Amino acid sequence: MRVLSAIQPTGAIHIGNYLGAIKQWIDLQEKNECIFFICDLHSITIPYDPKEFQKNILETAITYLAAGVNPEKSIFFVQSKVKEHTELCWLLGSVTPVGDLLRMTQYKEKSKQFKKNLDAGILNYPILMAADILLYKANAVPVGEDQAQHVELTRTIARKFNQRFGKTFNEPKTILPKMGARIMSLTNPKKKMSKSMGPQNYISLFDEPEEIEKKVMSAITDSGKEIKYNPVKKPGISNLLVIYSLFSGKPIKELENFFNGKSYSFFKKSLSELLINSLEPFRRKRKELLLRETYIKETLNIGAKRAETIAQSTMEEVKSKMGLV
């Protein structure tokens, strides 16, 4: 199976990104051909600081490596270094219904969030994502729930292309984790944990112990005292239980029994200790990698060359089918 996934260099990678996406990548790379990249071209669709951009890309690369992406097993690179992504994006635009783009939940949310500078990039975001996936003819895309709709649209685009120009692309499947596909914000458990909602709403993989404790202890919880999983009535506690379960490997039922009759603050203290310990190896590896900038840049260059070979072959086929050569 060829597996493909990516993350934007828009800020600190949080435990939502980790549990929803990266954790699956690490398992998948053992038995599959994996392609992981930093989608810098997607992240310029919302306001960003060009002066900080390369630093953010390097930080994201460090996150991938610290979390366990193995560049000897997986192809690992920066999206803009392989120009075929944008080239295919333009070509796929001619088989993408505008109505489908306007229906995307992410577009609707981001167009509200950035209504003062709403550019076509936010609307076209899913076409570039379809190009990312189809360029490598990936079979499976491990993502969090928020991106599943975009993979669905990729299948539509692949189908429409095949109908019009002849069988070229397969339809990739979405791989969602059984639990953790949608980790919620610490400050508003009805919204997903998100980089762009600011550092108080998430725990970064690299947060220091004091920050983790402060954020967990002040996470929004619900009325009542019971530590019970009920996402509708108790979204705050339920979200914390999911995080606890995924980092400890203990089923939610076992946690409910263990914390039965204990206070929210006892539970939160225990969760912050668990997170401090679980995230310690990431903090340590990051510190080591910060001293190896040249190695990281070389690794990304090698990855881009490997990706380019596949991308160029697909583009030749696509252009030929479309009558462009």
Check: CB of residue 67 under 8 Å from CB of residue 282. yes
CA distances to 132, 171, 307 from 141, rounded to whole Å, are: 11, 11, 16
Shortest distance, position 81 Cβ to ligand AQP, whole Å:
18
Bridge partners for 7 per DSSP? 38
Task: Pick one of 144, 189, 235, 236: the residue that binds ligand AQP (CB under 6 A).
Answer: 144
Classify 192 as helix, strand or coil: strand
Q: How far apart are CA 71 and CA 47, in angstroms?
A: 30
110 given a catalytic annotation: yes
Beta pairing class for 173-175 and 33-38 = unpaired
Identify which of residues 161 and 202 has a Cβ nearer to ligand AQP in the complex. 202
Query: By CB under 6 A, what part of segment 29-68 binds ligand AQP?
Result: none
Nearest-5° Cα angle at 130, 307 to 162: 100
CA distance 161 to 163: 5
> 141: helix, coil or strand?
strand
Among 23, 85, 155, 195, binds ligand AQP (CB under 6 A): 195
CB of 143 to ligand AQP, least distance (A): 3
Residue 82 φ/ψ, nearest 5 degrees: -115, 100
Q: Considering the complex, state which of residue 6 and residue 304 has its C-beta at the smaller distance from ligand AQP.
A: 6
| Binding of ligand AQP by 105 (CB under 6 A) | no
| Cβ-based nearer residue to ligand AQP, 16 or 303 | 16
Say if residues 256 and 228 touch (Cβ distance below 8 Å).
yes
Q: Could you tell me which residues come within 8 angstroms of residue 311 by beta carbon, excluding any fewer than 6 positions away? A: 82, 84, 85, 88, 135, 136
Mark the segment that binds ligand AQP (CB under 6 A) among 19-27, 65-73, 82-90, 264-272.
Answer: 19-27
173, 178, 190, 195: the catalytic one is 195
Among 4, 10, 23, 134, binds ligand AQP (CB under 6 A): 10
Looking at beta carbons only, is 68 or 322 nearer to ligand AQP? 68
Whichever of 126 and 144 has its CB closer to ligand AQP, that residue is 144
Q: Determine which residue in the list 196, 218, 260, 263 makes contact with ligand AQP, applying CB under 6 A.
A: 196
Tell me if 189 contacts ligand AQP by CB under 6 A: no
Residue 143 lies near ligand AQP (rule: CB under 6 A): yes
Q: Please state, in angstroms and rounded to a whole number, the distance separating the CA atoms of residues 102 and 72.
A: 39
Tell me, residue by residue from 72 to 101, as one string, x for binding to ligand AQP by CB under 6 A and - for no binding.
------------------------------
250 is known as an active-site residue: no
Catalytic center residues = 110, 192, 195
